[in-house]
C-alpha cells in the first residue's frame, strides 16, 4: 500500500523538531505494516483551523492524482481542527479511494469524523476563550495585550524562576521622536501623503521596517488604527476594540469593531510619547477634515470599463484617481519618488476612448468583415433550416389531422353514432385551423437574404461601437460583460506618452500587430482618432492573450 505522511504543528512557540518527531513515528508504523512510503507533507507553525496550508493543499492535489492509497498522520487534529474542513477532507479522500489512518484513532471512519471533529472544534473555542481571558487579565494588570506599536520596544526580562516576562513595553527613543514629528507635521497642516514622502525621502524606516504610506499615518479613526489614532501615545492603553472572525471561504481573519462599552481602557502614563497639546491639535485637524469630507470624488465618481484594472509598468502598483479625471501611480503619489519615480498621469476617458478606438479599427479590417459574413451566413443558414423544419412539421400535422377526420367521417357513413365523434372532430378542426394560420404567417414573412449593402451596414455599426457602449453604461449586465473581457492594463511611461500592455480576453479579441509598438500619444483628443485609415492606433498597443485562449474569432 502506497502511504503518504502528514505532520503539522501549530505555532512558532512550538519546536520545529515536532515535524521530525511526528515523521519518525509515522515511518516506524509504515515499516511495521510493510507499507510503501510514497511521499510526505507537512505544515510548520500553521493553525489547524485553516485550509490555507501549502502541505495539506498539495496532499489533496496528489490524492486526486491517485499517487497514494493511505494518508497516515499522528492524530485527526493534525489534518484539521475545523469540523467542516475535516469532514470535507475525509469526503474527498474517500472519493479518491484513499484511506485515512492515524496513530491515535486507527482507521478513520464517519464516526471519528463526527465525534472527533466536534471535540476539536470545541477545543478551539475553549482555547480562544482561555486566551482572551488571559490577555484581559494581563491588560488589567497594566501590561500589553499583545503586539508592539511603533515607538516602543519589548524588553528582555526574566522573573525569579528564570521565565521570560511577557507584556512589558518600553519607549524606543528614536522612534518616539519620529512619532512626535509626525503629529507635529500633521497638526501644522501637512497631509499624510506628504508626511510619508518626507519620511521616505529621508530614509526613515516604517513600522514594519519598510516604507511609509499615508494609510500608516491616518489609519481609521473609529478602529484606532494609524499613528495619529493610537491612544497609547498619550498613555492610554485600549484593548478589545476589535474582534476577529474567520471567513469560511478564504480562511482569512476579518476584523470587526466591538461596541464601545466592551472596550477595556487602562492608563499607562509611563508609555506617553505625545503631549496633550500636540494630540489635541492633531485631533482638531482630523475632525475638521472629517466634517468637510475627503471623499467627494469617490461619491461622484463615474464608472469606467477599466476602473481598478490599470497598473503602473514601473512598480506594479495600481493607477488610481488623483483628481476628478486623471489617473496616477498610487505608490509614487502615496510613498514618493524614492519608491516609484513614475509621475506621468493619463485621463481616464482618454484611455477608454483609445482602447475602444483600437477595437473599432481592428474590426474594420477586411479579414474581420469576412469573419462576420461567414458567421452571419452560418446563422442565416441555421435560421432558414429551422424555418424549413418547422414548415415541414406543420404540414405533417395538418396531413395527420385530415386523415383522422376522414376516418371519422367514414365511420359515421358505416353506421357509427355521430355523437361519439362530434366533440373530437371539432377539436381537430380547430387545431387544423391554427396550424394553417401559422403556416400562412410563415408564407408572408420576407425571405432571409444577405443585404447587398452588408459591408456598409457592418462599417456603420462598428463605427458606433463606442456610442453603444456608452449608452449601455447604466446596463449593469452589459457593463460587467465588457469589464470581464479585460484583466489588466499596464501603462509603461515613455517620452511621448505610454506603451500599453493589455492582458485578458480583450487582448485576444484585438490581436493587434505585435510589431512597431509605437508609444501611445496621450495628448491626442478622442475626436482626432483615425479609426479607418493608417492603422497607427492598432500598432500602438501590445496585447497579451489571456491564458488558455487562442486568437479569437469575431462575431457580432
Structural domain contains residue 499: no
Last residue of a domain, one of 451, 467, 483: 451
Q: Which three cell numbers stand for residue 378?
A: 452560418
Give the model's pLDDT for residue 360: 64
Number of domains in the chain: 3
Do 109 and 14 share a structural domain? yes
> Domain range spanning residue 178?
170-292
356: three-class secondary structure by DSSP: helix
Which domain CATH number covers 175?
3.90.1750
Whether residue 470 contacts residue 306, with contact meaning beta carbons closer than 8 Å, is answered with no
Give the model's pLDDT for residue 347: 84
Give the model's pLDDT for residue 415: 79
Give the model's pLDDT for residue 245: 80
Do 284 and 179 share a structural domain? yes
Last residue of a domain, one of 259, 292, 325: 292
Q: Which three cell numbers stand for residue 222?
A: 473609529
Structural domain contains residue 97: yes
Q: How far apart are CA 451 and CA 256, in angstroms?
A: 63
Do 7 and 63 share a structural domain? yes
Quick one: DSSP state of residue 248? T
Whether residue 278 contacts residue 180, with contact meaning beta carbons closer than 8 Å, is answered with yes
Backbone torsion region of residue 530, taken as left when φ is above 0, otherwise alpha when ψ lies between -120 and 50, otherwise beta: beta
401 Cβ neighbours under 8 A, 6+ residues apart: 428, 431, 432, 435
Do 233 and 120 share a structural domain? no
DSSP string, 287-336: HHHHHH-S-HHHHHPPP-TTTT-EEETTT-PBEEESSSSEEEEHHHHHH-
Give the model's pLDDT for residue 150: 92
Q: CA angle 264-267-269, nearest 5°?
A: 155
Give the model's pLDDT for residue 517: 34
Q: Strand 326-329 to strand 346-347: parallel, antiparallel, or no bridges (unpaired)?
A: antiparallel
Mind listing the pLDDT tens digit of every residue in the chain (556 residues)? 899 999 998 875 566 678 999 999 999 999 999 999 999 999 988 877 778 888 999 999 999 999 999 999 999 989 988 888 888 899 999 999 999 999 999 999 998 888 877 887 788 788 778 877 877 777 777 777 777 889 998 888 777 777 777 778 889 999 999 999 999 999 988 889 889 989 999 999 888 888 898 889 988 888 888 999 999 999 998 888 888 887 766 667 788 888 988 888 889 899 999 999 999 999 988 888 776 654 444 444 345 667 778 889 888 888 888 887 888 898 888 788 788 888 888 887 778 777 777 666 666 666 656 666 677 777 777 777 788 888 888 888 899 988 888 888 888 888 778 777 788 888 888 888 888 888 887 776 655 555 555 656 666 666 665 565 555 555 555 666 666 667 788 888 888 778 888 776 665 555 432 333 333 333 333 333 332 333 333 333 333 333 333 333 222 2
Whether residue 495 contacts residue 519, with contact meaning beta carbons closer than 8 Å, is answered with yes
Which domain CATH number covers 55?
3.40.50.1390
Give the model's pLDDT for residue 525: 34
Q: How far apart are CA 379 and CA 381, in angstroms?
A: 5
Give the model's pLDDT for residue 372: 66
Do 112 and 29 share a structural domain? yes
Q: How far apart are CA 501 and CA 507, in angstroms?
A: 9
Do 100 and 183 share a structural domain? no
Q: How far apart are CA 144 and CA 154, in angstroms?
A: 10
Q: How far apart are CA 120 and CA 80, in angstroms?
A: 8
Q: How far apart are CA 386 and CA 380, in angstroms?
A: 10
Q: How far apart are CA 420 and CA 492, in angstroms?
A: 86
Structural domain contains residue 343: no
Do 114 and 46 share a structural domain? yes
Q: How far apart are CA 98 and CA 48, in angstroms?
A: 21
Q: How far apart are CA 424 and CA 388, in angstroms?
A: 30
Give the model's pLDDT for residue 529: 30
Whether residue 157 contacts residue 164, with contact meaning beta carbons closer than 8 Å, is answered with yes
Three-state SS sequence of 149-170: CCCEECCCCECCCCCECCCCCE
Do 269 and 192 share a structural domain? yes
Structural domain contains residue 179: yes
Structural domain contains residue 98: yes
Q: Which long-range contacts does 108-115 make (Cβ < 8 Å, 24+ apart)? A: 108/76, 112/76, 113/76, 113/86, 113/87
Last residue of a domain, one of 418, 451, 484: 451
Do 184 and 85 share a structural domain? no
DSSP string, 454-484: HHHHHHHHHHTHHHHHHHTTT-HHHHHHHHH
pTM: 0.47
Structural domain contains residue 442: yes
Do 185 and 261 share a structural domain? yes
Structural domain contains residue 340: no
264: three-class secondary structure by DSSP: strand
Whether residue 375 contacts residue 368, with contact meaning beta carbons closer than 8 Å, is answered with no
* Residues linked to residue 318 through DSSP beta bridges, in sequence order: 311
Q: Which long-range contacts does 137-145 make (Cβ < 8 Å, 24+ apart)? A: 138/166, 138/167, 139/237, 139/239, 139/264, 139/266, 140/264, 140/266, 141/167, 142/266, 142/268, 143/167, 143/168, 144/168, 144/169, 144/237, 145/237, 145/239
Q: Which three cell numbers stand for residue 117?
A: 471533529
Whether residue 77 contacts residue 40, with contact meaning beta carbons closer than 8 Å, is answered with no
510 closest CA partner among 483, 546, 468, 474 = 546
Query: What is the C-alpha R_g of the chain?
Result: 36
Do 214 and 268 share a structural domain? yes
Q: How far apart are CA 304 and CA 310, in angstroms?
A: 11
Give the model's pLDDT for residue 476: 54
Structural domain contains residue 283: yes
Amino acid at each position: 500500500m502506497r502511504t503518504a505522511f502528514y505532520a503539522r504543528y501549530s505555532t512558532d512557540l512550538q519546536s520545529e523538531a515536532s515535524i521530525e518527531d511526528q515523521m519518525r513515528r509515522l515511518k516506524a508504523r509504515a515499516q511495521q505494516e510493510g507499507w510503501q512510503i510514497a511521499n510526505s507533507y507537512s505544515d510548520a507553525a500553521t493553525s489547524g483551523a485553516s485550509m490555507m496550508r501549502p502541505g495539506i493543499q498539495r496532499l489533496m492535489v496528489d490524492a486526486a492524482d491517485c499517487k497514494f492509497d493511505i494518508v497516515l498522520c499522528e492524530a485527526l487534529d493534525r489534518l484539521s481542527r475545523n469540523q467542516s474542513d475535516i469532514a470535507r477532507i475525509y469526503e474527498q479522500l474517500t472519493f479518491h479511494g484513499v484511506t485515512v489512518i492515524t496513530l491515535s484513532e486507527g482507521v478513520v471512519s464517519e464516526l471519528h469524523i463526527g465525534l472527533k471533529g466536534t471535540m476539536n472544534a470545541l477545543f478551539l473555542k475553549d482555547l480562544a476563550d482561555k486566551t482572551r481571558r488571559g490577555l484581559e487579565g494581563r491588560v488589567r494588570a497594566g501590561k500589553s495585550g499583545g503586539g508592539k506599536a511603533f515607538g516602543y520596544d519589548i524588553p528582555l526580562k526574566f522573573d525569579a524562576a528564570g521565565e521570560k516576562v511577557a507584556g512589558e513595553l518600553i519607549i524606543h527613543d528614536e522612534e518616539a521622536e519620529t512619532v512626535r514629528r509626525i503629529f507635529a507635521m500633521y497638526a501644522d497642516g501637512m497631509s499624510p501623503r506628504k508626511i510619508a514622502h518626507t519620511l521616505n525621502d529621508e530614509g526613515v524606516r516604517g513600522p514594519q521596517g519598510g516604507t511609509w504610506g499615508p494609510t500608516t499615518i491616518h489609519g481609521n479613526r473609529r478602529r484606532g488604527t494609524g499613528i495619529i489614532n493610537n491612544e497609547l501615545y498619550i498613555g492610554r492603553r485600549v484593548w478589545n476594540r476589535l474582534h476577529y472572525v474567520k471567513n469560511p471561504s478564504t480562511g482569512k481573519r476579518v476584523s470587526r469593531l466591538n461596541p464601545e462599552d466592551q472596550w477595556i481602557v487602562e492608563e499607562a502614563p509611563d508609555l506617553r510619547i505625545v503631549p496633550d497639546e500636540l494630540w489635541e491639535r492633531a485631533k482638531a485637524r482630523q475632525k475638521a477634515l472629517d466634517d468637510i469630507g475627503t471623499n467627494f470624488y469617490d461619491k461622484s465618481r463615474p464608472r469606467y470599463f477599466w476602473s481598478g484594472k490599470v497598473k503602473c509598468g514601473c512598480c506594479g502598483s495600481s493607477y488610481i484617481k488623483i483628481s476628478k479625471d486623471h489617473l496616477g501611480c498610487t505608490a509614487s503619489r502615496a510613498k514618493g519618488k524614492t519608491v516609484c519615480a513614475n509621475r506621468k498621469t493619463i485621463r481616464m476617458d482618454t484611455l477608454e476612448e483609445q482602447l475602444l478606438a483600437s477595437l473599432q479599427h481592428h474590426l474594420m479590417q477586411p479579414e474581420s468583415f469576412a469573419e462576420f459574413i461567414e458567421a452571419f451566413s452560418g446563422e442565416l443558414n441555421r435560421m432558414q433550416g429551422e424555418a424549413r423544419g418547422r414548415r415541414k412539421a406543420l404540414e405533417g400535422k395538418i396531413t395527420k389531422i385530415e386523415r383522422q377526420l376522414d376516418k371519422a367521417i367514414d365511420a359515421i357513413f358505416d353506421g357509427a353514432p355521430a355523437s361519439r365523434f362530434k366533440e373530437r372532430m371539432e377539436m381537430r378542426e380547430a387545431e387544423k385551423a391554427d396550424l394553417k394560420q401559422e403556416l400562412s404567417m410563415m408564407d408572408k414573412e420576407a425571405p432571409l437574404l444577405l443585404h447587398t449593402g452588408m459591408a456598409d451596414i457592418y462599417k456603420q455599426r462598428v463605427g458606433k461601437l463606442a456610442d453603444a457602449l456608452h449608452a449601455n453604461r447604466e446596463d449593469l449586465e452589459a457593463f460587467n460583460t465588457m469589464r470581464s473581457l479585460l484583466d489588466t492594463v499596464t501603462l509603461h511611461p515613455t517620452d511621448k506618452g505610454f506603451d500599453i500592455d493589455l492582458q485578458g480576453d480583450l487582448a485576444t479579441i484585438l490581436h493587434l500587430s505585435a510589431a512597431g509598438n509605437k508609444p501611445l500619444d496621450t495628448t491626442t483628443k478622442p475626436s482626432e482618432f483615425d479609426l479607418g485609415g493608417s492603422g497607427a492606433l492598432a500598432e500602438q498597443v501590445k496585447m497579451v492573450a489571456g491564458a488558455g485562449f487562442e486568437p479569437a474569432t469575431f462575431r457580432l
